[in-house]
Amino acid sequence: MALQIISTIRIVASMLLFSMSATAAPVFKDSGGKPASAYLPEGVNYNPAIPTPASFLGAEVGTWHVRHDQLVAYMYALADASDRVTLEVTGYTHENRPLLLLTITDPKNRPKLADWRKAHLDTVNQGAKTERDAPLFFYLGYSIHGNEPSGSNAALIMAYYLAAGDDDTVAELLNENVVLLDPALNPDGMSRFAHWANMHKGKNLVADPLTREHVEVWPKGRTNHYWFDLNRDWLLLTHPESRARIKSFQKWRPHILTDHHEMGSNSTYFFQPGVPSRKNPNTPDGNVRLTEALAAYHARAFDEAGQLYFSEEAFDDFYYGKGSSYPDALGSIGILFEQASSRGHLQNTMNGELAFAQTIQNQVTTTLSTIKGALANKPAILTYQNTFYDDTKNAIKNDTDFGGIIALPRDNGRLQALTDIFEQHDIDYRYISKAFKGDEQTFPAGSLVVPFDQPKYRLVKSLFSIRQSFAENTFYDVSNWNIALAFNLDYAVLSKRDGRALKYGSPVQKTTKPVVSEDAYAYAFEWNNYFAPAMLQQLLKAGVAVRSAEAPFSATLTNGSVVEFAAGTIVVPTPLSQPHSLVSHIQEASLLTGVKVYSIGSGFTPKGADLGSRTMSAISQPSVLLVGGEGTSSSEAGEVWHYLDTRVGFSPSIVEKARLADVDFADYSHIIFVSGSYSDIADDVVSHLSEWVRKGGVLIGQKTALRFFVGRNLLDAEVVARETIDRAFPTDSMGYEDKAALAASKIIAGAVYNAHIDPTHPLFFGYSGDTLPLFKTSNMIVRAEKSPFTQPAYYTDKPLMAGFSASQLQNMIADSAAVLVQQKGKGVVIGFVDNPLFRGYWYGTGKLMGNVIYQSTHLVR
């Protein structure tokens, strides 16, 4: 009986267990990745003491988008485990993420690195003959665009391979050469996108292009913290990521630099060379021939892998501010790689399903093919360094020009920014000790000279170029970046005869600690300094009461001397209610910004308005709303944010346009609209905006925002219709093959235009002269009543200064509006046809944004 009871219990228990197992939820695992070895060549042995990416991260590469903190931690782990790898932090991003550079070579080479590097620099800078057994220096750079993550994820694989791999390729590479591996060129953008992709990933991957994972929201992850495209900043050096990278590049001057990107999902894979006719004319043909030689290895690798690819179309190497073209100007070989993007973990495309792991695989494939091709062509690459130097010396010899001469501005801010760029690129510049009289102007002693006879000749030539005609008029990016025009500096290109006669002296003295008299009646500083708005903002933040002079005046200083002050000068009268520590606030602000302060002894002026005049307008602490969000240009919004936050000293409130209906505009003194599509803004929001202006608000718009202003009666002007522009380009004699060239001719991708300005107008306070170079990146044309009160800037009758624009566009833009100012009740509407803050580089117009914030006090009733 007992046995029967036990048997029954066992049967019941077995039934219960079966029932439980049959109804248990299935366990779905994360998918999409594969082991590191599966990305790499077959038959490679790996050092088991080196952690694999999967063992460290807990998932195979490609399963998730690696976060930057994980990437950093793994790179440190490799450096700790492998004697082939050393790691350094080269800088930090705006969000304080570390920028890493791994130096990978056989450990026996460590004692030789300093000598190898010196010998290499002697070759590129002095023409020393390259030894036959000299090493190659590779710079492998990944994912400068944060939402193009296959590169940084491939960096995990390549770093592991080079640290742990044991095969003939690794041995040949590391025994005799050096690899510099930069795993994440844009950590902030990468982090933003990794978070987006991972937060929308399920256990079961969704390939639908419309699923949320594949549709990022504004401002997306491509850009850095301030929404700048870092792949346009190699030359401009606006951001810390770029400055750290260029410092490393100049330290090593690598023979080859790889630049791994992504493009549209329905594409395949691109590798250079790009369009042959669109090469920068300063880049030698030898560079292209070596790029072609390496391309044969990429093609062979993809043929073997059964992957689609293309070359010599779509992309070019004209603008020297990109990662694949900056090296070309300096004797290195920059190579652009563009992988079709999965924009997540799996996406349907016209070529079938595209998996994230496959995009990583392709970046690994081209990194390996670059290494293989370079090793096979090592003698030619080493020889190219000598050839580049010799060809450059011959080009200098045959050049009829000596260099550029720049008159120093009465503006330490612009001067410091200018020389910082030169120094970071290791560009030689000098100061003349005696005045030089040129054909059109005299350059005083102390003017700056940048000679063309230097190793950076090709880069320097591009910085002073005013070329307007090109072999092909299609540009992937801008067609000009003349540095003197960008900084609004008087300059000339010297003949060799004039250059040889120059004498050089000591540099301009640095700013010293400001001396401010304790017993002054008032304090003043001029508005000509680029950082005058920052000086003013520091005082306003401290509660200092200030005034702005509407017209020029003179004043007697506490030392008895008389100084002439221009319109826009900021005055701090002590009779007003001021903070107890006023002098300390002024000294600290002056020391921070480099703006000179004058101590005035009396409110009674020898000339012009007295300091208590009603023409001395009060300036209050601004409260700025910047309209952003879907449908607006994140890059332009980022430029405004960056300027105000890093160069003035306050941040705007960034509000998505979709939330404008919830905003009480009365809380703000200024509202800024950048380029965008605003047709969906409700009429009642526009009505409230218009009423806010009439009550004293300052409304600012730039570029396509002016279409919105005009269309909703916020601005009285005409934006020339696109159809009108189209009619200026007849197509009667064209064929279908001319379609792309025609479209390109209607574009102004980036050229310098000259405008007449009124320096007596508050928007142009701090400017001298009656013309100003503007950077134009669109063919938008605006016409309005030409009045000195409403149109303080308009294009000249022959406006193109540098870069490409079709003659039809030049003629249509001539004499059209550049800046509009229209009174609306007590407030004012201000329109910029162009972007005054282009990439943070166009210092000559950058301060216009400071003027509309602070000097608009003269325009508001």
On the question of pLDDT at 15 being above 60, the answer is: no
Q: How far apart are CA 456 and CA 125, in angstroms?
A: 8
Averaged pLDDT, 223-229:
98
Residue 541: which pLDDT band, with cuts at 50, 70 and 90? Answer: very high
**Residue pair 701/671 in contact by the 8 Å Cβ criterion:** no
Distance separating alpha carbons of residues 378 and 476, to the nearest angstrom: 31
Residues in CB range of 690: below 8 A, 6 or more apart: 713, 714, 824
**pLDDT at residue 338 is higher than 90:** yes
| Cα angle for residues 811, 844, 404 (degrees, 5° grid) | 90
Q: How far apart are CA 706 and CA 714, in angstroms?
A: 9
Q: What is the pLDDT of residue 236?
A: 97
Among 335, 328, 260, residue whose Cα is nearest residue 295? 335
* Contact yes or no for 477/322 (Cβ under 8 A): yes
Per-residue CA distances from 687 to 484, 681, 691, 713, 714 (Å) = 43, 10, 6, 10, 10
User: How many other C-beta atoms can be found within 10 angstroms of the C-beta atom of residue 554?
Assistant: 12
Contacts of 756 by beta carbon, 8 Å cutoff, 6+ apart: 770, 771, 793, 794, 795, 796
User: In angstroms, rounded to a whole number, what is the distance separating the alpha carbons of residues 164 and 437?
Assistant: 64
Backbone φ and ψ of 45, nearest 5°: -90, 145
Q: Phi, psi at residue 372, to the nearest 5°?
A: -65, -45
Q: Residue 418: is its pLDDT beyond 80?
A: yes
Q: Spell out the alpha helix ranges (H) of 42-103.
A: 53-57, 68-81
User: Comparing 843 with 5, which gets the higher pLDDT?
Assistant: 843
Backbone conformation region of residue 753, classed left if phi is above 0, alpha if psi is from -120 to 50, else beta = beta
* Calpha distance 98→79 (Å, rounded): 15
Beta bridge partners of 403: 451, 494
Instruction: Write down the pLDDT at residue 249.
Output: 98
Could you tell me which of 214, 213, 217, 336 has the C-alpha nearest to residue 274?
Answer: 336
Contact 626, 672 (CB under 8 A): yes
- What's the pLDDT at 294? 98
Q: What is the pLDDT of residues 638-671, one digit of tens each?
A: 999 999 999 999 999 999 999 999 999 999 999 9
The label of the residue with tokens 């030049």 reads: 810
CB 315 within 8 A of CB 274: yes
- Find the mean pLDDT for residues 725-732: 93
What is the distance between the alpha carbons of residues 589 and 582, in angstroms, rounded to a whole number?
A: 11
Q: At what angle do helices 412-424 and 240-252 cross, to 10 degrees?
A: 40
Say how far apart CA 265 and CA 213 lie, in whole Å: 14
List helix spans (H) across 24-149.
36-39, 53-57, 68-81, 113-126
Q: What is the pLDDT of residue 387?
A: 96
Structure tokens given for 533: 């708005």
Task: Tell me if residue 573 falls in helix, strand or coil.
Answer: strand
Longest Cα separation, the chain: 125
Neighbour-count burial of 561, counting CB atoms closer than 10 A to its CB (0-12 exposed, 13-18 middle, 19+ buried): exposed
Q: Residue 753: enclosing H or E segment and its boundaries? A: strand 751-757
pLDDT at 601: 97
Band the pLDDT of 500: cuts 50, 70, 90: very high
Tokens standing for residue 551: 């017209």
Q: Model confidence over 294-313: pLDDT tens digits?
A: 999 999 999 999 999 999 99
pLDDT at 474 over 80: no
Instruction: Give me the mean pLDDT over the 470-478 stretch.
Output: 81
Of 18-22, 101-105, 276-280, the one with minimum mean pLDDT is 18-22
Q: What is the pLDDT of residue 23?
A: 60
Secondary structure class of 484 (helix, strand, coil): helix
- Those residues whose C-beta lies under 8 Å from the C-beta of residue 79, and which sit 6 or more positions away, are 85, 86, 87, 102
Q: What percent of the chain has pLDDT over 70?
A: 97
Residue 30: pLDDT band (50, 70, 90) is: confident
Share the mean pLDDT of the chain: 95
Looking at residue 183, what DSSP letter applies?
A: S
Taking 80 as the threshold, does the pLDDT of residue 262 lie above it?
yes
Question: How high is the pLDDT of residue 215?
Answer: 96
Q: What is the DSSP letter of 434?
A: S
Cα of first residue to Cα of last residue in the chain, in angstroms, is: 107
Res 508: pLDDT: 61
Tokens 């009285």 belong to residue: 716
Q: Rounded to whole angstroms, how far apart are CA atoms 187 and 682?
A: 38
